[in-house]
């Protein structure tokens, strides 16, 4: 396989490359935040300028130079798409620049942790399900982001899961990230090119794995949204908590799932189905969460609510006012 060469500027890429060069430090000098298939994400604490406090950035970088071309294309697609998105519940674009080796690096707003990180921390601390008010707050933030994508931008996120939900502080900010496999929607909310759907198996909707003979639509994101609510109660990745008796030592990570390293015959994975709730005691404050979970994970996508309806329900439940998307709300912190 041939090596990548330094990309030549063209009309589609010039707009993404800042006029002022950005000297990105080598990966070992940055904190690693996470990884996915073919990429790693690092936190870059940028040096301050005189009288200016500069926020940290998250840098998504390709892992190797000899990866298939599709990985570079996916990163460039994500950068171009992310630059066009402006919403408080969508991670902010900062820059997309080539490194010295010619590989592109996507710079984004940095958040403290992913929802998956917080789920793992809570499980390791021996705690039970997240408090109902926290689940509702996260659910509203994600639903608002999905509503923006589905209705205003006509986009399917395509890989909704706890790993792709970022959190700042005490849940003051909730943001959706990772748009590398997003697909265009038509005016009816149907995916224009369903053959291009990728996703991650255990968050898959029934219609994407052949369990339901319905077209792929925005409701795919809604099914996965329901599974994120389940994750915050079960503190597990969907469909991977029921291990067979075996001598295998298996560590399940996001990269394992996307690369199908974890074998289905070892994990009794049944993607596209509604996972059973764990045996935990939930008080009445979880009733609305359970109702939303069951509605979102219906087999028939037409029975699932839209993101817009989810926002309306959650604003009513929480008493939150609709977002005021003023210029101040959308300001970018550089």
325 torsion bin: left (phi>0), alpha (psi -120 to 50), beta (else): beta
Question: Sheet harboring 165-168: ordered strands across?
Answer: 113-114, 165-168, 173-176
| SS3 state of residue 186 | coil
Contact residues for 291 (Cβ-Cβ < 8 A; gap 6+): none
Instruction: Report how far residue 44's alpha carbon sits from residue 24's, in angstroms, rounded to the nearest whole number.
Output: 8
Report which DSSP code applies to 217: B
How many CA atoms lie within 13 Å of 225's alpha carbon, on the beta-carbon side? 31
User: Quick one: which of 281, 266, 332 has its CA closest to 93?
Assistant: 332
| SS3 state of residue 173 | strand
Q: How far is CA 273 from the centre of its chain?
A: 20
User: Quick one: which of 138, 265, 156 has its CA closest to 215?
Assistant: 156
**Among all residues, which ones are annotated catalytic?**
159
Q: What is the DSSP secondary-structure string of 297-324?
A: T-SSGGGSPPHHHHHHHHHHHH-PPPP-
Q: Where are the beta strands (DSSP E) in the chain?
A: 31-36, 39-44, 57-62, 93-98, 104-109, 113-114, 155-156, 165-168, 173-176, 183-184
């Amino acid at each position: 396989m041939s090596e990548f060469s330094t990309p030549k500027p063209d009309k589609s890429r010039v707009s993404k490359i800042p006029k002022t060069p950005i000297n990105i430090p080598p990966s070992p000098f940055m904190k690693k935040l996470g990884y996915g298939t073919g990429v790693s994400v690092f936190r870059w604490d940028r040096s301050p300028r005189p009288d200016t406090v500069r926020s940290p950035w998250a840098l998504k970088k390709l892992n190797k130079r000899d990866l298939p071309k599709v990985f570079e294309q996916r990163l460039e697609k994500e950068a171009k798409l992310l630059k066009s998105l402006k919403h408080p519940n969508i991670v902010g674009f900062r820059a997309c620049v080539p490194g010295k080796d010619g590989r592109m690096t996507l710079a984004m707003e940095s958040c403290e942790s992913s929802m998956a990180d917080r789920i793992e921390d809570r499980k390791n601390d021996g705690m039970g399900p997240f408090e109902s008010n926290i689940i509702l707050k996260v659910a509203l933030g994600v639903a608002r982001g999905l509503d923006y994508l589905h209705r205003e931008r006509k986009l399917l996120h395509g890989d909704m899961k706890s790993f792709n939900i970022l959190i700042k502080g005490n849940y003051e900010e909730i943001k959706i990230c990772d748009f590398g496999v997003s697909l265009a929607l038509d005016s009816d909310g149907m995916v224009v090119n369903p053959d291009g759907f990728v996703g991650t198996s255990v968050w898959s909707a029934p219609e994407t794995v052949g369990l339901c003979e319905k077209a792929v639509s925005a409701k795919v994101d809604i099914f996965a949204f329901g599974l994120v609510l389940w994750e915050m109660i079960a503190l597990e990745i969907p469909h991977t908590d029921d291990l067979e008796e075996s001598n295998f030592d298996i560590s399940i990570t996001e990269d394992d799932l996307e690369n199908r390293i974890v074998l289905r015959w070892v994990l009794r994975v049944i993607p596209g189905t509604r996972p059973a709730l764990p045996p935990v005691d939930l008080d009445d404050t979880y009733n609305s969460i359970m109702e939303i979970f069951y509605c979102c994970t219906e087999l028939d996508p037409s029975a699932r609510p839209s993101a817009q309806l989810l926002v309306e329900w959650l604003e009513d439940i929480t008493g939150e006012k609709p977002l005021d998307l003023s210029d101040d709300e959308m300001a970018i912190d550089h």
